[in-house]
A and B are shown apart, each in its own frame.
Chain A
Amino acid sequence: MTFLRTFLVVLLLIPAAFDLPARAQQPPPQQQDEFIPIEKLPPQDQLPAAPLLVAAYSFVALALFAYVVSVARRLGSVQQELNRLESELKRSGRT
């Protein structure tokens, strides 16, 4: 029983022992003592809204346009096929 207890305590301490040096290496959180304008941030930290907005509106326009074209083309080809068949039937006198 004592062995089991010791084993469990060691088992719990192992991750903590590995974690301690990692925690010691982390710098303490710094308090903010100034405000930095967004223009002064490095370019990779600035996230402009305009490209995201343009991308969203462009996608909407493209998706709707592509769908309308797709339905119109399908409708056109079916209509063409229908006209061809109907005229074929009329010519052969089967109407």
Chain B
Amino acid sequence: MPKWFTPAVVICGLMFAVAPILIAEAPYESTMGLVQKIFYVHLPSAWMFLLAAITCGVASVRYLFGGNPRHDRIAWSAAELAVLFGAITLVTGPLWARKAWGTWWQWDVRLTSSLMGWMVAVAYLLLRKYGGPGSDKLAAGLALFGMANVPFVYISVNYWRTIHPTTNVVPTLPTSFGVPLWFSAVTFLLLFVLLLRMRIRLEEQRTRLDALYLAMDEHR
């Protein structure tokens, strides 16, 4: 692991300890009250989900056109994080919606496209696990669809009628809501980087292991 990894883990741990205090001290939103505090984990995890889908897509493009296995390892690792953060987004969202909207789920464009993006990431992982030889290239192609879906997820709320808040909410947040949100977002970003590095390390070690097995077979 690189030298920065351990200090970053400590910083991330401290930030995760401080974040609940900031969230608890944030004021209640006028119409939603206590349940609005789900926002401070829902939105950062949604951002990390989109970031993971973009990372997976960019690495897949570079792998498809450059053929460097390192990019494939990054794409595979990012796809796993897209599934993790996507699952968090898709679970915390309905828990918030049940109280705020009176329903768990709406088949509107933001929610449906997010679910679709998550399913693409799940499909990527299934393809890598059970696809056999050649699945790396096929999965890289699939990752492009996941990445193409990201701008659609983001801007959909501004163009289609939906009960999901628009993208104008965050830039107009008062400081009392903004500070815990941005602190939480930076914490999630740091966690994302750490998890990605850890997951890439796992793929690197697996590659080394495969190379060792090959070397042993050649010597027999």
A64:B191 contact, CB within 8 angstroms: yes
Which of B88, B92, B206, B216 lies in contact with A85, CB distance below 8 A? B216
B91 contacts across to A, CB distance below 8 A: 56, 59, 63
A50 contacts across to B, CB distance below 8 A: 34
B42:A56 contact, CB within 8 angstroms: yes
B34:A59 contact, CB within 8 angstroms: no
Q: Residue B213 at the A interface, CB < 8 A?
A: yes
B213 contacts across to A, CB distance below 8 A: 85
Contacts between the two chains (Cβ within 8 Å), count? 78
Per DSSP, chain B at the interface is helix
A57 contacts across to B, CB distance below 8 A: 38, 41
B209:A85 contact, CB within 8 angstroms: yes
The count of chain B contact residues (Cβ–Cβ below 8 Å) is 32
A81 nearest CB neighbor, chain B only: B209
How far, in whole Å, are A55 and B42 apart by their CA atoms in the complex?
Answer: 12
How far, in whole Å, are A47 and B37 apart by their CA atoms in the complex?
Answer: 16
A78:B95 contact, CB within 8 angstroms: no
The count of chain A contact residues (Cβ–Cβ below 8 Å) is 26
Known: A71-B202, A78-B206. A53 touches B37 (CB 8 A): yes
Which of B's residues lie within 8 Å of A, judged by CB? 33-35, 37-38, 41-42, 45, 84, 87-88, 91-92, 95-96, 98-99, 191, 195, 198-199, 201-202, 205-206, 208-209, 212-213, 215-216, 219
